Amino acid sequence: MTRHTPEQFRALFDPRAVLVAGASTHPGKFGFVALHNILSCGYQGGIYATNRDGAAVLGIATARDVAELPDGEIDLAFVCTPAGANPELLKACAAKGITAAFIASAGYGEAGDEGRRAQDELVALAEELGILLAGPNGQGVVSTPAQLCAQIVGPYPPRGRIGVASQSGNLVSAFQNYAGQTGVGISRAVSAGNAAAVAVPDFLEYFATDPETAVALAYIEGVAVGEGRAVYERLRQVSERLPVVLVKGGRSADGQRAAASHTGSLASDDRVFDGMARQAGVQRAATVEQAFDVAATFATQPLPQGNRVAVVTTAGGWGVATADALSQTSLQLAALPDDLRAAIDEHLPPRWSRNNPIDLAGGETRDTVPAVLDLVAGHSEIDAVIFLGIGIQSNEAKLMRRGRFYPDHGLERIVAYHERQDARFAQAAIEASDRTGKPVLVATELAVASPDNPAVATMREAGRLCHASANRAVAALDHLWQRSRWLQRRGLPLG
């Protein structure tokens, strides 16, 4: 299989103009939805469409035939026509200078021997024509720098720095949904479909060269037969350049096998895959939501230099639970340095925990949270901070705002104060991280339970991840540390 050129990937992710082949007037058909989504998400390039009857779709005049379209202007064809029509279509596209095609059409490798033959023929044809062939049977491609949403389903995610490549279109949507929920956005997202010519590792290699992408996030179900070694080498090279977060489906399908050797009987597919991923420096996530958490943390936090973690909390229980979670990872709950304890004493009444977790015990006043976060994150014996208990004041403010006494009895003033404080605390966490170059993670269940909480909203609007729980923050930070250590042990820069 020939490798694709950067120009072809640019045609896919940053096309000058797009053609929707097989645009439909029926709003339930993919050929309608794809055109709708391209027209609706801000894409600034030229938009063309073909329709069998030449009928206007969504106010766009369509062509009956690709031959009627302008020469040398269109880079990407989004193909919704039936499989049988596609060979002729690709030839016509190539004649117009199109160098990338996303094939949404089904009826290929997923549809038995005949479909597989049609797929192989289409791949060979595309290669001959110099067209990068994405799909077939895929959901589409999203590229936020180009405001391009060439997909047959929603959503369109916020812009960001995570590049998504997935063997399942459905999980592309899931990652895009998480991006919308958290505000940690996506640069490119592509469903590999049947991955006939371009597979997930090809997209990851492109992401490693893409200035818009800082983290690669991938879902795969397996590696094509005979390509294991090559995939390993390619993943390792990508990992040297940017974090790769991977979630693999099909773990449970994996059986222990009978083998003559003990080593062989222990060598389940999943354990070998896991070792391969670790060796390649790939961060393998346990679940889909963890994969997004980890990618979003890579996208928004610097890597820790070490594994000594300070937990700063305004609420005792979460602090203890976080210490417990840390003990299950390669991270350490840092021993609180004496000089740091003394420095914090200057800012808090004596009832604070005087230990790590640093439980402020309600001693926080207007300025103490930013001051303590700065002291802790700035200390040379602390590598990362997890900040908990944010949003509590605004949660009460929400109740006050909705209650029947608002705005009287001084409620208007106190509600505004609480909300300002939480926004300020979130801002302080962001600034402490920026100032010290260390990860400062914020976690609260309010990220999910009350997304309009000012603490949560401040994080989201800043494009930072507000972790949905302390455990999830710990799991993500553990992955950051694992990558940091992988890079350090190999003499590679932390980036």
- Nearest distance from C-beta of residue 271 to another protein, angstroms: 6
* Position 400 contacts another protein (CB under 8 A): no
- Nearest distance from C-beta of residue 250 to another protein, angstroms: 12
* Position 289 contacts another protein (CB under 8 A): no
Cα 95 to Cα 71: distance, rounded to the nearest angstrom = 8
Nearer Cβ to another protein (274/431): 274
Q: For 174, list phi and psi in degrees, rounded to 5.
A: -60, -45
* Position 124 contacts another protein (CB under 8 A): no
Nearer Cβ to another protein (228/363): 228
Cα 406 to Cα 230: distance, rounded to the nearest angstrom = 65
Pair 308, 334: CB distance under 8 Å: yes
**How deeply is 289 buried, as exposed, middle or buried, from its count of CB atoms within 10 A (0-12, 13-18, 19+)?**
middle
- Give the interface segment with another protein, choosing from 49-57, 146-154, 275-283, 417-425 (CB under 8 A): 275-283
* Position 413 contacts another protein (CB under 8 A): no
Nearer Cβ to another protein (255/403): 255
Residues 203-242 contacting another protein, CB under 8 A: 223, 225, 228-229, 232
* Position 265 contacts another protein (CB under 8 A): yes
- Give the interface segment with another protein, choosing from 40-48, 130-138, 350-358, 485-493 (CB under 8 A): 485-493
Collapsed DSSP state (helix, strand, coil) of residue 259? coil
Report residue 358 as tokens: 């640093």
Nearer Cβ to another protein (34/487): 487
- Nearest distance from C-beta of residue 243 to another protein, angstroms: 17
Cα 428 to Cα 369: distance, rounded to the nearest angstrom = 8
* Position 267 contacts another protein (CB under 8 A): yes
Report residue 390 as tokens: 């944010």
Cα 200 to Cα 54: distance, rounded to the nearest angstrom = 36
Nearer Cβ to another protein (72/222): 222
* Position 261 contacts another protein (CB under 8 A): yes
* Position 409 contacts another protein (CB under 8 A): no
CB atoms within 10 A of CB 70: 11
* Position 266 contacts another protein (CB under 8 A): yes
User: How far is the first Cα of the chain from the last one, in angstroms, to the nearest whole number?
Assistant: 32
Q: Which of 53, 252, 260, 403 binds another protein (CB under 8 A)?
A: 260
* Position 251 contacts another protein (CB under 8 A): no
- Give the interface segment with another protein, choosing from 9-17, 129-137, 261-269, 423-431 (CB under 8 A): 261-269
* Position 274 contacts another protein (CB under 8 A): yes
- Nearest distance from C-beta of residue 324 to another protein, angstroms: 17
Nearer Cβ to another protein (260/380): 260
* Position 272 contacts another protein (CB under 8 A): yes
Nearer Cβ to another protein (219/486): 486
Helix-helix angle 454-461:411-436, to 10 degrees:
40
Cα 54 to Cα 331: distance, rounded to the nearest angstrom = 62
To which residue do tokens 């998504």 refer? 164
Cα 230 to Cα 309: distance, rounded to the nearest angstrom = 37
Pair 157, 113: CB distance under 8 Å: no
* Position 275 contacts another protein (CB under 8 A): yes
Q: Which of 64, 351, 366, 490 binds another protein (CB under 8 A)?
A: 490
The Cα angle at residue 187 between residues 101 and 157, in degrees rounded to 5: 95
State the alpha helices, DSSP H only, in 62-187.
Answer: 86-95, 112-129, 169-182
Cα 435 to Cα 437: distance, rounded to the nearest angstrom = 6
Cα 246 to Cα 419: distance, rounded to the nearest angstrom = 37
* Position 264 contacts another protein (CB under 8 A): yes
Nearer Cβ to another protein (44/263): 263
Distance of CA 93 to the CA centre of its chain: 32
* Position 258 contacts another protein (CB under 8 A): no
Collapsed DSSP state (helix, strand, coil) of residue 44? coil
Cα 147 to Cα 43: distance, rounded to the nearest angstrom = 5
Nearer Cβ to another protein (37/239): 239
* Position 56 contacts another protein (CB under 8 A): no
Positions in the binding site for another protein (CB under 8 A): 223, 225, 228-229, 232, 259-267, 269, 271-276, 278-279, 486, 489-490
